[in-house]
A and B are shown apart, each in its own frame.
Chain A
Amino acid sequence: MTELILRRLGLMALTMIIVSLAVFWISEVAPTDVARNILGQYVSEEVVAAYREGLGLNCHWFVRYVIWIIGDDWIPPARELVGDEVLPQCCTPERLDRRGLIRGDLGTSTQTMRPLTPFVSRRLKNSLILAGFALVVIIPTSLLIGVLAGLREGGFLDRFISIMSLLTVSAPSFAIGVVLVVIFCLWLGWLPGISALETEHSVLESPSKLVLPVLVLFFSEVGYVARMTRASVVQVMRQNYIRTAILKGLPRRQVILGHALRNALVAPITVIALHINWLIAGAVVAETLFAYPGIGSALLGAAVSKDVSMIEASVLLMTFLATSTQLLTDILYTYLNPRIRYR
């Protein structure tokens, strides 16, 4: 088991390196002129050249990539020791104070010129709160719905749940969100339609602002998970050992709780966590719809305003979260399914 974990950690590190290279390459290397992209069409050449100097874009791209990872505050002491050949002055920006990704410094926003780390960590905290509440609501409910549907296969409840799952899976999250806003904000007036917050306030101070975004995420996931759970329960109930348990005379309740569920729930739990990529995209839509200050809407704003360092930092962060969740899921699945453990 330890060997498996170490191997998966190594693969994850490799994936992150490849992803960081890809992100850096697409954002800063592939476009012909990053500075021109940021400043726009109507700026003169001298301004663009000065901007490039200021950002340190004249270095070779690999040097810039390594500096992004390990920072450039080691350069002035290195220059004093070794001389100016370490990195020529024309190639590095004027202020050498970045500590690099490895040490937790996400850089400075190219649009607002303010440090990114406090901004991103605040937004990330909000998104994690939203995702946490959403998972707490989604997992028990959808598993319960799926189990109920699977146990009464072919019955009215099963058909009803199947149809509702199909409808919610097919409706895009923005459509669901719009319908929910119409019902709960306009007709009933129970919940606020906007979830924007003051900068320093936490969302937990006004929990009613969380309800609608969580509901949107819930409806977009519950159909899929419920269907998977139902299929898994149906398949387990057809197994021979269930028939044996019933024939042995065990009460139905014990058959279900003691034997069927333990086997049926393994697959949906892993499916939930593997679906995390879908959840990230759904979160972007939900956050934009309700103006919730999370990392998804921050990324959208950065993409639209071409804030290169913000895009790089947040994409890398979100990918890291996605891959680490997948790693945890794999470990959980290996733990729950003994057949894989000893492979």
Chain B
Amino acid sequence: MSGVPQSQSVAASSRVAAAHKSRTVFDHVRDGWQALRGRVVFLFESKTAVVGLAIVVFWIAVTILAPVLAPYPPNALTGRVSESPSMEHLMGTDYMGRDVCSRLVYGGQTILLLAPICVVCAEIIGATVGLTAGFLRGMVDEVILRILDAIMAFPMMLLYMIIMAATGPSKINIVGVIAFSSTPGVARLMRGLVLEIRDLEFVQAARLRGESALYIMFREILPNCLGPLIVDACLRVGYTSFWIGSLGFLGIGVPPPDPDWGRMVSEGRAWILTAPWIVVCPSLAVSSLVIGLNLLADGISEASKRV
């Protein structure tokens, strides 16, 4: 990712001039593949990013392939109660006789499904709000800033408790609350970036050309902010997984019977003396996922600084 902001319209017009012959689907696919390869190669320049990416890809693959990988169904009683790890049950069985490894593999689905959704919502809404505030300035900026401050002042855990008490725990509540609480952080980040970019010459040129505010915001400024936004998104997915795990541990996350790593830790606590693997395996799973995401975010920001 180049550190120098580029005008998208200049780049686009040069591409149009160069490619006079009609472009087939093949050309588009090849362009996309080149861009992807460029990004991936860029990522590989940082060792931290590679390790982080490996961990994240591992967990995504495990979750998607859960029905294939899990040796037993997650809620079936397949072994003796609290059996230690053996060849039949790679991570032992829990206090009811369910296979821990299968529950681990299926349990990742909750976190890995909900966390990206929360973050994507937060990023989209937050980026829009930040763009508006940073670009329009004046009264709009002041009002939006005050509202964001008020939202940030309110601890998210408390907001979730109130909503949960009123309407019960559910996936939609979790996604809504986490997205709502993460939006101010993204919006402030975006606003800071926009404030830096809006005074550059290509933005002024676009304004002189008579482009509408929407065009300038979304086609000129936004593409240059994508780098820090992606790093922020990676970090946020990590924090969100952390939160969803903690909410599951407190018993107010996704309702049963879906296996959930946090709730596995909470339920297995009573057997920590005799069967510690029930508790240790989900804890290590959550920790490794968040570590992987943090490493990935660190690596991306490291690699983009080196370019």
Q: Which residues of A line the B interface, CB within 8 A?
A: 11, 15, 18-19, 23, 26-27, 30-31, 37, 166-167, 169-175, 178-179, 181-182, 186, 277, 280-281, 284-285, 288-289, 299-300, 302-304, 306, 308, 311, 315, 318-319, 322-323, 326
Contact = CB atoms under 8 A, between A and B. Distances in A.
Contacts of A11: 146, 149
Interface stretch (B82-90, B94-102, B216-224, B278-286): B278-286
B132 to A, nearest CB: 21
B155 A281 contact: yes
Contacts of A277: 152-156
Nearest to A12: B153
Contacts of B149: 11, 15
B269 interface: yes
Contact of A299 (B150, B161, B276): B161
Most A Cβ at <10 Å: residue of B152, B162, B290, B295: B162
Given A174-B262, A323-B153, A186 B294 contact: no
A277 B160 CA distance: 13
Nearest to A171: B287
B163 interface: yes
Given A26-B166, A281-B155, A315-B158, A174 B272 contact: no
B164 interface: yes
Tell me which of B246, B266, B295 has the highest count of chain A C-beta atoms within 10 A of its own C-beta. B246
Nearest to B282: A175
A37 B283 CA distance: 34
A294 to B, nearest CB: 13
Contact of B265 (A37, A174, A322): A174
A166 B291 contact: yes
Given A171-B287, A175-B287, A315-B158, A303 B252 contact: yes
State which size class the interface on B falls in: 35 or more
Contacts of A304: 165, 251-252
Interface in B202-244: 238, 242-243
A170 B294 contact: yes
B107 interface: no
Contact of A322 (B153, B164, B286): B153
A318 B156 CA distance: 12
A174 B155 contact: no
A309 to B, nearest CB: 11
B294 to A, nearest CB: 5
Contacts of B276: 182
B158 A37 contact: no
Contacts of A323: 153
A123 B170 CA distance: 29
Contacts of B153: 15, 19, 277, 319, 322-323, 326
B154 A319 contact: yes
Given A18-B150, A288-B250, A174 B245 contact: yes
Given A178-B272, A300-B161, A303-B164, A172 B286 contact: yes
9 contacts: A37-B166, A172-B262, A172-B283, A175-B283, A179-B283, A182-B280, A280-B155, A304-B165, A311-B165
Given A19-B154, A277-B153, 5 more contacts: A26-B162, A171-B287, A174-B266, A174-B283, A179-B280
Nearest to A310: B165
Interface string B241-274: 0110110011110000000001001100100110
A318 B162 CA distance: 13
B157 interface: yes
A170 B290 contact: yes
B96 to A, nearest CB: 19
A280 B250 CA distance: 14
Contacts of B293: 170
Nearest to A280: B155
Given A173-B246, A175-B265, A299-B161, A31 B155 contact: no
A23 B246 contact: no
Contact of A281 (B157, B238, B265, B269): B157
A208 B21 CA distance: 78
Given A281-B155, A285-B250, A311-B162, A170 B283 contact: no
